[in-house]
């Protein structure tokens, strides 16, 4: 992932300044110029060209479409797929069959192929995307193999001989259609780079669970990304089938096509807007020359290119350009300057139900009972401290409340409604916010994006930006709002973790050892924010803390856990002197 | 390409079995022998995956390359293909160690992204090797005609080649298991696979362990190639099928679980032998992929307990 714009200039302040605004205008102008130039080249090809050049241009554009399609799911969303060729093949066959048997005009057939690709991805997505990393990559590869065998033996689709189509007499029409599809592919990628939705997708790439805790509907986002990244190759496959007037299983479901696409995108820069375009263009033209000279070694060349790219310049061409400050990624939803502080105004909830009620909660991991029949409740305006030795079940309790672990038995009520079956992201959207013991920031994103990711859900973008700005100024992270989160010192990282909690505009806040490892001054700053939480609309706070002195005066009540059981509850002073608690902490007297 | 793929030797031997019971037993025997070979095919990948968290996607191309070399060698000299075995082990280990140092180790420094980056590197490497094999050995499916007859035991027929290859493979896998669990260097390797940091703090040179693991893994893969070519026809294009086959077995048996993987290999051998007989070559070919999806979606752990 390339670094964001602001970091490079190392701006200390909140504003971009006149100079930077001028630079931004300059960049716009440059981009417009580049787009016009590209358009001129694109238009010139059919006017000037021989058949060979037109075919090369069409092939290159097709590869660009495939590269952009792959970039959506594997680049931005981070689900590396070695089987997007499945959709390409499905699209190719759909177009061929529709033209032959339904007698559709080819352009309708290609559109219908897009629908087929979308439908297939929609069906497969929820299952396949449960897999991660290598499992997803190879699962998709396996899928392509299965489809290859199916079409190889399916008589209606011509089995292994494939299907022949009538020849297109005006290849320019296919070229134009391919251009349009390439534009669509580019637009999809631009949407991922600039929009909040794209930010959600990238957050999944970084840390899916942490993103869910910030309200990102992970499954929906990745299925949408998967569907988009299936539509593009499906339609491209349809165009190729029509263009070649022929399609057979071994070229439709050819895994080496996926290799090429992976190579193109990596070489250009994975997860970037311009990477797939630049990489494909460079390698297609170079590969064409190389292919003429050494017709049998093209795949080997791609193999060598991909290896050397990963080893020598992992960011690809765009990564190289970034070093000179070119082609930088924009910061998503970032205003030019942080807007003035607007404190949130949310009407308090009506009703008398307690904020949180945990009834007889038991969590078992195999033979280990982490929580054993714990009950507790949090009234409005209350702050609850949860203490206990290591392994007492404190973090498990938080995990159960936020949805990270499924309770074995028992009930969790939030404002009187049972939430045990509500997914993590929805609990976050409904106002349950947590911090993690070890901050789980999204390191390649900026401070701003980390916060706006959380403030975005359930808000319009401009409200989200206002809220994010308020949070950053309240927490004191405003000076470094454009820095990548990975560059923050550990103390600031903890503050950012806290900022994201506030950004959710929560009603219930669960703080998991926010003060561990902080200096006295840092602790004091955090204590100040915790004291203010009720002003920000937080109805109740629960905190797990080892630094008991740092929270005992803030808490209204304390609960003590020991080996998964609640052993004491009450006012801090009483609990801390309770002999049962003392024994749990210090052991039996000799 | 798939059309040219000849039926596996094990399942082609149908004519001897007349009764249903004998047939079932025969399929079982063939499956187990095939499975014995699969153990080695999978175990070498498991070693690398277990220790380094790297799925070596070039695994299948190493097997194919070694197999095709064996074919070339035994056609040229007329000698037994088994003579290539020590050469393959040594050559594979040396090549693997060199490849690890040059290609994989630099990527291992990339932290959280190391797994996916190494996946991409070995993906690229697999194509380089496949193209190399295509240039040197051509694209035909070949198999070494070796011990074509079979031993009869009652109504059962044991293909000699299958027995020899299966036995060799099983012995090598057993040696690997013994080494990992009974020797200091093997245990160091297991330790490094479970916690690199922990192993490092116990004075184990983890980078060196990775080098050794990759070397041994590739050496064993090359040895597996020598045995595979005796049993079934191989071409450069089969490479990725072999990689996936090995991966399916690992997913079935459980990553880093050497006994589980051995059981899964036998199971897959039997399943393929049965599916090949009753449902035909296409089913036999596609079975591992279907299993791959089923296993992964149902969760490897859950499936292992079934097997």
pLDDT (tens digit per residue) in A181-204: 999 999 999 999 999 999 999 999
More confident residue, B177 or A63: A63
Give the pair of three-digit tokens for residue A254: 């050819």
Handedness of CA B280, B285, B286, B291 (dihedral sign): positive
Question: What confidence tens digit (pLDDT) does each residue in A421-465 have?
Answer: 999 999 999 999 999 988 899 888 999 999 999 998 877 778 888
Residue B2 located in a structural domain? no
Mutate to test the interface with A, among B5, B127, B243 (most CBs of A within 10 A): B127
For chain B, the average pLDDT equals 81
Question: What confidence tens digit (pLDDT) does each residue in A89-114 have?
Answer: 999 999 999 999 999 999 999 999 99
- Beta strands B156-159 and B150-153, pairing class: antiparallel
Mean pLDDT is highest, among A268-272, A365-369, B33-37, for: A268-272
**Per-residue model confidence (pLDDT) at position A25:** 66
Note whether B54 contacts A: Cβ–Cβ < 8 A.
Answer: no
Does residue A235 have a pLDDT over 60? yes
Q: Is A369 exposed, middle or buried (0-12, 13-18, 19+ CB in 10 A)?
A: middle
Measure the N-to-C terminal CA separation of chain B; round to a whole number of Å.
33
Are A83 and A223 within one domain?
yes
Does residue B50 have a pLDDT over 80? no
| Residue at which a domain ends, from A306, A323, A340 | A323
Give the pair of three-digit tokens for residue A53: 């050049």
Within 8 A by CB and 6+ apart from A257, the residues are A66, A85, A88
Are A309 and A416 within one domain?
no
Residue A344 located in a structural domain? no
| Least confident span in A203-212, A260-269, B9-18, B27-36 | B9-18
Give the pair of three-digit tokens for residue A180: 């349009």
Residue B5 located in a structural domain? no
Q: Alpha-carbon distance A165 to A244, whole Å? A: 8
| Residue at which a domain ends, from A302, A323, A344 | A323
Note whether A305 contacts B: Cβ–Cβ < 8 A.
Answer: yes
Are A215 and A297 within one domain?
yes
| CATH code assigned at A514 | 3.40.50.300
* ipTM of this predicted structure: 0.79
Residue A16 located in a structural domain? no
Are A267 and A182 within one domain?
yes
Note whether A262 contacts B: Cβ–Cβ < 8 A.
Answer: yes
Mean pLDDT is highest, among A245-254, B114-123, B227-236, for: A245-254
Q: Alpha-carbon distance B162 to B146, whole Å? A: 10
More confident residue, B88 or B108: B88
Q: Which residues of A touch B130 (CB under 8 A)?
A: 299
**Per-residue model confidence (pLDDT) at position B17:** 43
DSSP annotation of B234 reads B
Q: Alpha-carbon distance A207 to A442, whole Å? A: 7
Phi, psi of B282 (to 5 degrees): -60, -45
DSSP secondary structure string, A315-349?
THHHHHHHHTT-SPBPPTT--SSPPPP-----PPP
% of chain A surpassing 90 pLDDT? 46
More confident residue, A197 or B166: A197
Number of Cβ within a 10 Å radius of residue B294: 13
Cβ–Cβ under 8 Å, residues A174 and A243: yes
Q: Select the residue of B2, B128, B285 nearest A304 (Cβ to Cβ).
A: B128
Q: Which residues of B touch A256 (CB under 8 A)?
A: 127
Are A315 and A363 within one domain?
no
**Per-residue model confidence (pLDDT) at position A5:** 42
Question: What confidence tens digit (pLDDT) does each residue in A389-430 have?
Answer: 888 889 999 999 999 999 999 999 999 999 999 999 999 999
Does residue A367 have a pLDDT over 90? no
| Least confident span in A44-58, A472-486, B291-305 | B291-305
Residue B152 located in a structural domain? yes
Q: Alpha-carbon distance A485 to A6, whole Å? A: 12
Record: contact B106-A311, CB cut-off 8 A: yes
Chain B nearest-CA distance from A308, in A, is 8
Q: Which residues of B touch A153 (CB under 8 A)?
A: 282
Does residue A212 have a pLDDT over 90? yes
**Per-residue model confidence (pLDDT) at position A201:** 95
Note whether B250 contacts A: Cβ–Cβ < 8 A.
Answer: no
Note whether A52 contacts B: Cβ–Cβ < 8 A.
Answer: no
Nearest chain B residue to A299, by CA: B127
**Per-residue model confidence (pLDDT) at position B1:** 37
Are A298 and A390 within one domain?
no
Residue B224 located in a structural domain? yes
Within 8 A by CB and 6+ apart from A456, the residues are A196, A199, A200, A215, A333, A464
Residue B12 located in a structural domain? no
Nearest-CA neighbor of A570 among A561, A559, A583?
A: A559
Q: Alpha-carbon distance A55 to A46, whole Å? A: 10
Q: How many domains does chain A have?
A: 2
**Sheet strands (E) in A90-167:** 163-164
**Per-residue model confidence (pLDDT) at position A26:** 67
Cβ–Cβ under 8 Å, residues A214 and A500: yes
Q: Alpha-carbon distance B155 to B25, whole Å? A: 10
Residue A85: pLDDT band by 50, 70, 90 thresholds?
very high
Note whether A306 contacts B: Cβ–Cβ < 8 A.
Answer: yes
| CATH code assigned at A156 | 1.10.3470
Chain A nearest-CA distance from B130, in A, is 8
Does residue A348 have a pLDDT over 80? no
For chain A, the average pLDDT equals 87
Nearest chain B residue to A138, by CA: B244
Residue A328 located in a structural domain? no
Residue A336 located in a structural domain? no
Residue A369 located in a structural domain? yes
Q: Alpha-carbon distance A299 to A293, whole Å? A: 13
Give the pair of three-digit tokens for residue A322: 């970034």
Residue A10 located in a structural domain? no
Are A203 and A256 within one domain?
yes
Chain B nearest-CA distance from A276, in A, is 16
Mutate to test the interface with A, among B120, B132, B241, B244 (most CBs of A within 10 A): B120
**Per-residue model confidence (pLDDT) at position B3:** 36
- Give the H or E element holding residue B150: strand B150-153
More confident residue, A272 or A332: A272
Number of Cβ within a 10 Å radius of residue A48: 9
Handedness of CA B215, B217, B222, B223 (dihedral sign): positive
Does residue B111 have a pLDDT over 80? no
Q: Select the residue of B55, B127, B292 nearest A300 (Cβ to Cβ).
A: B127
Q: Alpha-carbon distance B125 to B56, whole Å? A: 9
**Per-residue model confidence (pLDDT) at position B112:** 67
Separate counts of helices (H) and strands (E) for chain A: 24, 12
* Domain span at B287: 20-306
DSSP annotation of A76 reads I
Note whether A303 contacts B: Cβ–Cβ < 8 A.
Answer: yes
Are A277 and A426 within one domain?
no
Q: Which residues of A touch B121 (CB under 8 A)?
A: 306-307, 310-311
Q: Which residues of B touch A297 (CB under 8 A)?
A: 131, 135
Are A310 and A372 within one domain?
no
* Domain span at A383: 356-586
**Per-residue model confidence (pLDDT) at position A52:** 84
Q: Alpha-carbon distance B182 to A79, whole Å? A: 39
**Per-residue model confidence (pLDDT) at position A23:** 61
Q: How many CB pairs under 8 A join A and B?
A: 106
Residue A67 located in a structural domain? yes
Chain A nearest-CA distance from B186, in A, is 26
Q: Select the residue of A135, A145, A160 nearest B289 (Cβ to Cβ).
A: A145
Residue B188 located in a structural domain? yes
Residue B6 located in a structural domain? no
Residue A24: pLDDT band by 50, 70, 90 thresholds?
low
**Per-residue model confidence (pLDDT) at position A20:** 54
Q: How many domains does chain B have?
A: 1
Q: Select the residue of B107, B286, B296 nearest A149 (Cβ to Cβ).
A: B286
Within 8 A by CB and 6+ apart from B71, the residues are B81, B137, B142, B143, B144, B229, B234
Residue A337 located in a structural domain? no
Residue B14 located in a structural domain? no
Mean pLDDT of B15-37: 77
**Per-residue model confidence (pLDDT) at position A590:** 60
Are A399 and A475 within one domain?
yes
Residue B156: pLDDT band by 50, 70, 90 thresholds?
confident
Q: Which residues of A touch B116 (CB under 8 A)?
A: 80, 133-134
Nearest chain B residue to A255, by CA: B240
**Per-residue model confidence (pLDDT) at position A508:** 94
**Per-residue model confidence (pLDDT) at position B18:** 56
Cα-based distances in Å from A545 to A79, A383, A472, A515: 36, 13, 24, 7
Note whether B120 contacts A: Cβ–Cβ < 8 A.
Answer: yes
Are A292 and A191 within one domain?
yes
Nearest chain A residue to B135, by CA: A296
Are A172 and A28 within one domain?
yes
């Amino acid at each position: 992932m390339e670094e964001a714009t602001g970091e490079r200039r190392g701006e200390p302040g909140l504003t971009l300044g006149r100079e930077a605004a001028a630079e931004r205008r300059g960049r716009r102008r440059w981009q417009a110029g580049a787009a016009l130039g590209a358009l001129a080249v694109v238009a010139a090809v059919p006017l000037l060209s021989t058949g060979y050049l037109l075919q090369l241009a069409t092939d290159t554009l097709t590869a660009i479409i495939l590269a952009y399609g792959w970039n959506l799911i594997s680049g931005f969303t981070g689900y590396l797929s070695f089987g997007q060729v499945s959709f390409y093949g499905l699209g190719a066959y759909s177009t061929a069959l529709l033209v032959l048997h339904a007698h559709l005009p080819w352009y309708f057939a290609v559109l219908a192929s897009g629908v087929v690709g979308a439908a297939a991805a929609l069906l497969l997505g929820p299952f396949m995307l449960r897999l991660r990393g290598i499992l997803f990559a190879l699962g998709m590869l396996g899928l392509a193999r299965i489809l290859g065998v199916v079409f190889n033996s399916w008589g209606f689709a011509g089995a292994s001989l494939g299907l022949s189509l009538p020849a297109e007499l005006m290849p320019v029409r296919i070229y134009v259609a391919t251009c349009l599809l390439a534009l669509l592919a580019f637009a999809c990628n631009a949407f991922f780079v600039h929009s909040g939705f794209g930010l959600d997708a990238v957050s999944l790439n970084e840390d899916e669970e942490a993103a869910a805790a910030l309200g990102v509907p992970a499954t929906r986002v990745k299925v949408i990304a998967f569907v988009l990244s299936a539509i593009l190759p499906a339609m491209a496959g349809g165009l190729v089938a029509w263009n070649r007037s022929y399609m057979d299983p071994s070229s439709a479901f050819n895994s080496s096509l996926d290799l090429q696409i992976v190579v193109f995108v990596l070489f250009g820069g994975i997860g970037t807007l311009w990477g797939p375009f630049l990489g494909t263009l460079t390698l297609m033209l170079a590969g064409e020359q190389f292919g003429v000279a050494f017709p049998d070694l093209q795949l080997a060349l791609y193999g060598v290119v991909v290896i050397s790219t990963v080893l020598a310049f992992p960011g690809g061409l765009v990564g190289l350009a970034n070093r000179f400050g070119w082609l930088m990624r924009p910061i998503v939803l970032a205003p030019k300057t942080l807007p003035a502080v607007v404190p949130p105004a949310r009407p308090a909830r009506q009703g008398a139900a307690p904020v949180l009620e945990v009834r007889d909660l038991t969590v078992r991991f195999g033979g280990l009972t982490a929580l054993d029949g714990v009950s507790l409740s949090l009234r409005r305006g209350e702050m609850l401290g949860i203490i206990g030795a290591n392994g007492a079940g404190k973090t498990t309790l938080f995990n159960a409340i936020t949805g990270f672990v499924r309770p074995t038995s028992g009930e969790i009520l939030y404002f009187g409604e049972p939430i045990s079956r509500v997914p993590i992201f929805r609990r976050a959207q409904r106002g349950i916010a947590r911090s993690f013991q070890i901050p789980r920031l999204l390191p390649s994103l900026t401070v701003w994006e980390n916060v706006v990711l959380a403030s975005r859900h359930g808000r319009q973008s401009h409200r989200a930006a206002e809220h994010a700005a308020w949070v950053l100024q309240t927490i004191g992270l405003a000076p470094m709002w454009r820095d990548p989160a990975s560059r923050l010192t550990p103390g600031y990282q903890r503050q950012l973790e806290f900022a994201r909690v506030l950004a959710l505009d929560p009603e219930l806040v669960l703080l998991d050892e926010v003060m561990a490892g902080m200096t006295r001054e840092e602790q004091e700053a955090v204590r100040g924010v915790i004291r203010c939480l009720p002003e920000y609309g937080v109805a109740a706070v629960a905190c797990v803390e080892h630094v008991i002195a740092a929270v005992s005066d803030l808490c209204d009540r304390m609960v003590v856990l020991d080996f998964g059981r609640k052993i004491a509850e009450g006012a801090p002073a009483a609990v801390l002197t309770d002999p049962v608690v003392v024994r749990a902490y210090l052991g039996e007297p000799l | 390409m798939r059309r040219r793929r000849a039926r596996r030797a094990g399942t082609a031997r149908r004519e001897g079995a007349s009764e249903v019971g004998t047939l079932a037993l025969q399929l079982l025997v063939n499956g187990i022998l095939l499975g014995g070979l699969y153990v080695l095919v999978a175990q070498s990948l498991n070693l690398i995956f277990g220790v380094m968290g790297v799925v070596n996607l070039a695994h299948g191309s190493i097997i194919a390359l070694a197999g095709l070399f064996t074919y070339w060698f035994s056609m040229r000299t007329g000698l037994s293909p088994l003579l290539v075995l020590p050469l393959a082990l040594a050559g594979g280990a040396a090549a693997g160690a060199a490849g690890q140092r040059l290609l994989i180790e630099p990527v291992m420094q990339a932290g959280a992204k190391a797994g996916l980056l190494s996946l991409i590197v070995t993906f690229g490497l697999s194509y380089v090797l496949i193209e190399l094999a295509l240039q040197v050995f051509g694209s035909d499916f070949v198999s070494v005609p070796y011990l074509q007859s079979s031993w009869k035991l009652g109504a059962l027929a044991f293909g000699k080649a299958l027995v020899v290859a299966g036995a060799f493979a099983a012995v090598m896998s057993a040696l690997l298991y013994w080494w990992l669990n009974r020797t200091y260097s093997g245990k160091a390797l297991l330790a490094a696979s479970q916690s690199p940091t922990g192993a490092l703090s116990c004075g184990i040179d983890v980078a060196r362990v990775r080098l050794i693991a990759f070397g041994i893994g590739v050496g064993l893969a090359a040895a597996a190639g020598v045995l595979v070519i005796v049993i079934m026809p191989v071409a450069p294009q089969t490479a990725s099928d072999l990689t996936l086959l090995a991966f399916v077995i690992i997913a079935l048996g459980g990553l880093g679980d050497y006994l589980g993987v051995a059981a899964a290999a036998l199971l897959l051998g039997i399943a393929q032998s049965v599916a090949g007989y009753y449902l035909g070559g296409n089913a036999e070919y596609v079975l591992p992929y279907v299993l791959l999806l089923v296993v992964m979606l149902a969760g490897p752990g859950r499936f292992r307990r079934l097997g």
